[in-house]
């Protein structure tokens, strides 16, 4: 398609601000099939990812969902790929074409298709996730409709896809889906509506409420919205035009009215290129808005969206039918929707932009020569990173209508940089306009380690109509910007603080998961982790114990431990030493590797040599916690204690200090060996916990091996099938044991 443009479409030469108007909302993604929602304070747009895939470019291999929000209808925050198909829930869903969104009391509800063969739902506490499956939680199935679903089939619908969602004024929810035609459901008669309710966070679908709705010439993309007590059912017809009908009852019957969104071939700057159509309608601040997709980017001579789904730019892309998402104001004539007018400018900005908040870096009203990357960790909200293409003649984002009031003196930018010389210029009016300040971006160890950068600003007072972040550097995508925030005055460095405000007392025990809260500015971090993912979150129901740190904290039967430790990781703790003198340090550790080791330092000076963590043998090697020890000398007063991993793969539960050299273990452990595993021959009491942490049994045994054997033979096992934790009450040693009938 557009063969005559192929010679120029791959070029990304710089061009002026007006060469691309404010529509579409993103120039660095292909996006499709939008839906819309509003909670009164924020407007939401949900889209498919329509970027190039690893298979055939034109086969609509939709691998996930993107989301955008705005509070002023001009500046949009791109939250990235908030949901990835075949990632969060294993092998489902497959292709999430044309999903629908609703937001109520801050909670996000998304209904998605599984290709064309079923419909499901996901929910999250915020648009960034993490998402869970309420249908699975309540009904034990993965989908509302489709094979093996709540209703057991697709009710004869030809194309079981394109779901829309409406939460009514009384809190009752409705999902509409369907499309195509079949022998049992002829053309124009192929949509279903099903009802759901929510109580105490539990969503329940009423499968007996399923009802067919119909309108003339309806084909796909059913969408429900409500205004002044009237329900509106819009859809895409076979001519790729959005028509609609009205009813005073959600279940219909609906009276056909006419067209609300014309064919997208009449969209400005799309060179007459048409294609399928999709829509979403939502109110915001006394106005209504329509979202739709078009082909402005795929027909642009500059073509800034030519990338793969991984964000890699393609020099010779196959353009095919990829789409972009735009928005315009919807007007009314009484209770009828006027036919939408497509514009280049998009909606008018309805309020000034407040720069004194922390924003995801991909917040802008227009962009030039950037890419983005979504950092995804299962069970956590996504992080979306802006990646400038700094080798191009222009690389920038623009923010519109920015109200600086009395003035901003500082800009904080959290960024990663794997090259020297990367910087960001702040300019007024245009990408080459008046310079307000320059931020030198500090080099970091990798592209997922983000550091705060501050830069002084001048001349930013009152309302700035167009503010530009201009990216400078010698190589593309060596700089990743996570967030930014303007400040009235420069933020002074802030020291780290004890977790929960509690200083750890020595002598005494230090729980390793409760390391200090990080401060602000260089030298005030309280931890360092080799990657941004919390690999222990899944053990805690998908929620990180120390959100935002990436420290790998695992929930065990006896509490939390720090695991997945790699060489170079470190944690710091504010401690208060009662008096100067000799102490014995005991550490509860576990490892399935021969390489695990660590050391301790105080105020930057080592107090131990490297301490080896001997390898456990057997299946429970990371669950059998034993003790290692070292003699140390400590000075009286308040200090910063640092735990540093010197060898990969070890877990640590706690560190304990006892007064005196070669002191006894305060946990009353009778046989302490540097060889790590405790093999006391005397009888001890063992407690058994299920995976919820509930104690289910207690008995005596002569060591952990005997305790495991006794538990497997215990009649109580039948009531606690699966994995259990056994803990030696006197030594604190923990082991994991799996039992089956």
What is the CATH classification number for the domain harbouring 585? 2.60.120.260
692 within 8 A of 654, measured Cβ to Cβ: no
User: Does residue 716 carry a pLDDT above 90?
Assistant: no
- The reported pLDDT for the residue numbered 543 is 81
The answer to whether residues 110 and 242 belong to one domain is yes
Distance spanning both ends of the chain, measured CA to CA: 63
- The reported pLDDT for the residue numbered 608 is 94
> Please, which pLDDT band fits residue 621 given cuts at 50, 70 and 90?
confident
What would the mean pLDDT of 56-69 be, rounded to a whole number? 72
- The reported pLDDT for the residue numbered 718 is 54
Could you tell me which of 178, 172, 208 has the C-alpha nearest to residue 192?
A: 178
Average pLDDT of the chain? Answer: 86
User: Does residue 115 carry a pLDDT above 90?
Assistant: no
Dihedral (CA of 62, 65, 66, 68) sign: positive
- The reported pLDDT for the residue numbered 5 is 28
Whole-structure pTM value? 0.69
Tokens 């104690």 sit on residue: 695
Listed range (56-60, 174-178, 231-235, 351-355) with the worst mean pLDDT: 56-60
Distances (CA, A) of 595 to 279, 587, 613: 57, 17, 8
Residue 741 CA to residue 737 CA, distance in Å, equals 13
The burial class, CB within 10 Å (0-12 / 13-18 / 19+), for 591 is: buried
The answer to whether residues 583 and 450 belong to one domain is no
24: cis peptide before it, omega within 30°? yes
Domain boundary at 487, 508, 536, which?
487
- The reported pLDDT for the residue numbered 16 is 32
Residue 471 CA to residue 262 CA, distance in Å, equals 38
pLDDT tens for 656-679 read 999 999 999 988 643 333 333 333
The answer to whether residues 552 and 609 belong to one domain is yes
What share of the chain in percent tops pLDDT 90? 62
Domain that holds residue 117: 3-337
What would the mean pLDDT of 460-477 be, rounded to a whole number? 94
Establish if 679 belongs to a structural domain.
Answer: no
**Which one is predicted more confidently, 433 or 723?**
433
Residue 587 CA to residue 610 CA, distance in Å, equals 13
The answer to whether residues 532 and 637 belong to one domain is yes
> Please, which pLDDT band fits residue 82 given cuts at 50, 70 and 90?
very high
- The reported pLDDT for the residue numbered 29 is 86
Establish if 350 belongs to a structural domain.
Answer: no
The answer to whether residues 113 and 217 belong to one domain is yes
253: cis peptide before it, omega within 30°? yes
Establish if 670 belongs to a structural domain.
Answer: no
Residue 736 CA to residue 691 CA, distance in Å, equals 10
pLDDT tens for 646-660 read 999 999 999 999 999
The answer to whether residues 466 and 583 belong to one domain is no
- The reported pLDDT for the residue numbered 676 is 36
pLDDT tens for 230-287 read 999 999 999 999 999 999 999 999 999 999 999 999 998 887 888 899 999 999 999 9
3-state secondary structure of 9: helix
Establish if 615 belongs to a structural domain.
Answer: yes
Could you tell me which of 474, 419, 409 has the C-alpha nearest to residue 441?
A: 419
Task: Please tell me which of 308-322, 516-530, 567-581 the model is most confident about, judged by mean pLDDT.
Answer: 567-581
Residue 22 CA to residue 739 CA, distance in Å, equals 61
SS (H, E, C) 690-706: ECCCCEEEEEEECCHHH
Neighbours of 142 (CB within 10 A): 21
User: Does residue 373 carry a pLDDT above 80?
Assistant: yes
Residue 124 CA to residue 79 CA, distance in Å, equals 14
The answer to whether residues 643 and 690 belong to one domain is no
- The reported pLDDT for the residue numbered 696 is 78
CATH of residue 266's domain is 2.115.10.20
User: Does residue 345 carry a pLDDT above 90?
Assistant: yes
The answer to whether residues 330 and 369 belong to one domain is no
User: Does residue 309 carry a pLDDT above 50?
Assistant: no
Establish if 272 belongs to a structural domain.
Answer: yes
SS (H, E, C) 38-50: ECCCCEEEEEEEC
Could you tell me which of 240, 354, 226, 221 has the C-alpha nearest to residue 288?
A: 226
Distances (CA, A) of 494 to 415, 518, 602: 19, 9, 20
How many separate domains does the chain show? 4
User: Does residue 632 carry a pLDDT above 60?
Assistant: yes
Establish if 110 belongs to a structural domain.
Answer: yes
Residue 180 CA to residue 275 CA, distance in Å, equals 17
Domain boundary at 487, 520, 543, which?
487
Listed range (274-278, 318-322, 684-688) with the worst mean pLDDT: 318-322
The answer to whether residues 320 and 216 belong to one domain is yes
The answer to whether residues 462 and 522 belong to one domain is no
Establish if 561 belongs to a structural domain.
Answer: yes
User: Does residue 290 carry a pLDDT above 70?
Assistant: yes
526 within 8 A of 571, measured Cβ to Cβ: yes
Establish if 675 belongs to a structural domain.
Answer: no
Say what the alpha-carbon torsion angle 127, 133, 138, 142 is, to the nearest 10 degrees. Answer: 150
The answer to whether residues 12 and 154 belong to one domain is yes
- The reported pLDDT for the residue numbered 138 is 95
pLDDT tens for 349-372 read 999 999 999 999 999 999 999 999
What would the mean pLDDT of 41-62 be, rounded to a whole number? 72
User: Does residue 25 carry a pLDDT above 70?
Assistant: yes
What would the mean pLDDT of 87-92 be, rounded to a whole number? 76
> Please, which pLDDT band fits residue 617 given cuts at 50, 70 and 90?
confident
User: Does residue 581 carry a pLDDT above 80?
Assistant: yes
**Which one is predicted more confidently, 198 or 520?**
198
> Please, which pLDDT band fits residue 720 given cuts at 50, 70 and 90?
low
The answer to whether residues 137 and 20 belong to one domain is yes
């Amino acid at each position: 398609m557009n063969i005559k443009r192929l010679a120029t479409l791959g070029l990304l030469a710089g061009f002026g601000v007006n060469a691309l108007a404010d529509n579409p909302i993103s120039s660095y993604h292909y996006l499709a099939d939008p839906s819309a929602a509003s909670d009164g304070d924020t407007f939401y747009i949900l889209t498919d990812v329509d970027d190039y895939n690893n298979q055939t470019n034109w086969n609509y291999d939709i691998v996930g969902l993107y989301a955008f929000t705005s509070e002023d209808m001009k500046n949009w925050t791109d939250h990235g790929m908030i949901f990835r198909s075949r990632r969060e829930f294993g092998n489902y869903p497959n292709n999430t074409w044309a999903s629908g969104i609703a937001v109520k009391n801050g909670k996000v509800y998304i209904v998605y298709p599984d290709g064309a063969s079923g419909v499901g739902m996901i929910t999250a506490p915020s648009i960034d996730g993490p998402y869970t499956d309420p249908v699975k939680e309540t009904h034990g199935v993965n989908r509302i409709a489709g094979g093996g679903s709540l209703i057991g089939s697709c009710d004869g619908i030809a194309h079981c896809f394109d779901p829309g969602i409406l939460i009514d004024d009384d809190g009752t929810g409705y999902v509409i889906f369907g499309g195509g035609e079949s022998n049992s459901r002829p053309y124009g008669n192929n949509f279903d509506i099903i009802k759901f309710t929510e109580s105490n966070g539990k969503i329940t679908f009423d499968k007996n409420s399923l009802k067919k709705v119909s309108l003339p010439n309806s084909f796909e993309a059913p969408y429900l919205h409500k205004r002044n007590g009237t329900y509106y059912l819009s859809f895409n017809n076979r001519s790729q035009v959005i028509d609609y009908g009205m009813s005073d009852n959600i279940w219909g019957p609906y009276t056909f009215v006419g067209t609300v969104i014309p064919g997208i071939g009449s969209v400005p700057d799309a060179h007459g290129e048409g294609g399928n159509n999709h829509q979403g309608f939502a109110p915001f601040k006394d106005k209504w808005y329509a979202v739709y997709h078009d082909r402005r980017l795929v027909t642009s001579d500059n073509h800034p969206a030519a990338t793969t789904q991984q964000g890699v730019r393609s020099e010779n892309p196959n353009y095919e039918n990829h789409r972009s998402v735009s928005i315009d104001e919807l007007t009314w004539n009484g209770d009828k929707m006027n036919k939408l007018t497509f514009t280049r400018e998009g909606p008018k900005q309805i309020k000034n932009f407040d720069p004194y908040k922390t924003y995801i870096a991909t917040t802008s009203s227009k962009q030039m020569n950037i890419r983005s990357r979504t950092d995804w960790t299962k069970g956590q909200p996504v992080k979306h990173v802006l990646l400038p293409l700094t080798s191009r003649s222009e690389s920038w984002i623009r923010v519109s209508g920015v109200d600086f009031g009395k003035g901003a003196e500082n800009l904080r930018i959290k960024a990663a940089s794997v090259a020297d010389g990367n910087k960001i210029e702040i300019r007024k009016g245009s990408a080459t306009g008046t310079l307000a300040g320059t931020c030198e971006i500090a080099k970091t160890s990798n592209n997922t380690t983000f550091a705060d950068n501050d830069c002084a600003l001048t001349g930013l007072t009152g309302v700035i109509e167009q503010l530009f972040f201009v990216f400078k550097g010698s190589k593309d995508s060596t700089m990743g910007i996570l967030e930014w925030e303007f400040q009235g005055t420069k933020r002074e460095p802030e020291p780290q603080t004890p977790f929960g405000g509690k200083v750890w007392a020595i002598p005494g025990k230090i729980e390793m998961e409760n390391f200090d809260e990080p401060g602000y500015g260089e030298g005030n971090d309280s931890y360092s982790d080799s990657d941004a993912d919390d690999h222990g979150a899944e053990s805690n129901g998908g929620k990180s114990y120390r959100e935002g740190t990436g420290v790998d904290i695992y929930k065990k039967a006896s509490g939390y431990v720090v695991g997945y430790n790699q060489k170079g990781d470190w944690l710091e703790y504010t401690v208060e030493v009662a008096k100067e003198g000799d102490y014995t340090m005991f550490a509860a550790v576990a490892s399935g590797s021969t390489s695990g080791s660590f050391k301790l330092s105080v105020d930057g000076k080592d107090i131990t040599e490297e301490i080896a963590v001997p390898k456990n043998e057997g299946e429970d090697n990371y669950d059998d916690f034993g003790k290692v020890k070292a003699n140390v000398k400590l000075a009286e007063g308040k200090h910063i204690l640092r735990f540093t991993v010197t060898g990969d793969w070890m877990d640590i539960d706690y560190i304990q200090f006892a007064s005196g050299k070669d002191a006894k273990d305060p946990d009353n452990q009778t046989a302490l060996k540097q060889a790590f595993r405790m093999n006391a021959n005397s009888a001890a009491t063992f407690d058994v916990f299920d995976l919820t942490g509930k104690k289910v049994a207690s008995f005596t045994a002569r060591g952990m091996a005997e305790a495991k054997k006794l538990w497997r033979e215990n009649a109580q096992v039948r009531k606690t099938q699966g994995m259990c934790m056994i803990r030696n009450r006197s030594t604190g040693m923990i082991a994991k044991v799996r039992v089956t009938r």
